[in-house]
Amino acid sequence: MKWALSELNKFRGSQVDFLETIDLSASLKKREPSIIDISPIKVNGFLEVDEIGYYAHMTIETILTVPSSRSLEPVELPLNLLIDEEYMTPKQYDALKDVSDDEKSLIIILEKDLIDLTEAIEDFILLNLPLQVLTEEEKQSTELPKGDFWQVVSEDDIKVEQETEAASTIDPRLAKLSDFFKEDE
């Protein structure tokens, strides 16, 4: 998934379509050790070439195997990602006018005369790893794991416990004030 700029410039004013299957499992496992396995990645997209720069649009599909957040059991996660990247040479970037700094920050400046889309694919996969991964059984179960002297509790349970605790306890220094507004009987 690498193209030399001299090769791409032959397609100026048009686009280069591609449909490939690539294997990035070794490099992804090296960058993120929690990845157990990743199937070959199907990449479908195009590179548009014009005077301004190089625009890449692609969709990727793969199945990622990562450990469950609770039990560390392997879980297969299908990933379908849409990737849009804009590349420019330093000369093209310096020639930009009427472009805001926010838009400029999204542009990737090429350090070599080469566009390598595998780097973008790897980055997008790693950025889209979910924080919480559960097996089907864990998703269906309402019971959270617990042991002899510990248990996992949800944030909702903690909030309810804190609210009931706050409502039932009165600060001893302010206990006499609770009688202040009582009507005389």
Task: Give the pLDDT confidence of 19-40 residue by residue, as tens digits.
Answer: 999 999 999 999 999 999 999 9
185 pLDDT more than 70: no
Distance CA 48, CA 54 (A): 6
**What is the rounded distance in angstroms from the CA atom of residue 160 to the CA atom of residue 137?**
26
97 in the same domain as 35: yes
Residues 112 and 146 in one domain: no
Domain-embedded: residue 185: no
Mean pLDDT across the chain, nearest whole number? 86
* Between residues 156 and 59, the one the model is more confident about: 59
| 123 shares a domain with 57 | yes
Percent above pLDDT 70 for the chain: 94
79 versus 71: which is more confidently predicted? 79
pTM over cut 0.75? no
Q: Total structural domains in the chain?
A: 2
Q: Does 49 fall in a domain?
A: yes
pLDDT in tens, 104-141: 788 888 888 889 999 999 999 999 999 888 888 888 87
Distance CA 107, CA 95 (A): 13
Q: Are residues 107 and 35 in the same domain?
A: yes
Within a domain: 129: yes
Is the domain of 146 the same as that of 117? no
Q: What is the largest distance, in Å, between two alpha-carbon atoms of the chain?
A: 97
- Whether residues 57 and 8 share a domain: the answer is yes
Q: Are residues 44 and 102 in the same domain?
A: yes
Looking at residue 141, its pLDDT comes to 77
Q: Do 122 and 151 fall within a single domain?
A: no
- How would you classify residue 98: left for phi > 0, otherwise alpha for psi between -120 and 50, otherwise beta? left
pLDDT band at 183 (very low <50, low <70, confident <90, very high): low
Instruction: Residue 138: count other Cβ atoms within 10 Å of its Cβ.
Output: 18
163 sits in the region (left: phi over 0; alpha: psi -120 to 50; else beta) called alpha
Q: Is residue 13 part of a domain?
A: yes
Residues 174 and 96 in one domain: no
Q: Return the pLDDT at 139.
A: 82
Residues 134 and 146 in one domain: no
- Sorted by sequence, the CB contacts under 8 Å of residue 63 that are 6+ apart come out as 38, 39, 76, 77, 78, 79
- Which are the contacts of 103, defined by CB distance < 8 A and separation ≥ 6? none
Give residue 26's domain range.
2-139
* Domain presence at residue 52: yes
What tokens does 49 get? 């070439």
Asked if residue 184 is part of any domain, the answer here is no
pLDDT above 60: residue 80: yes
Pair 134, 59 in one domain: yes
Q: 75 with 157, same domain? A: no
Cβ-contact 110, 88 below 8 angstroms: yes
Q: Are 63 and 79 in contact (CB under 8 A)?
A: yes
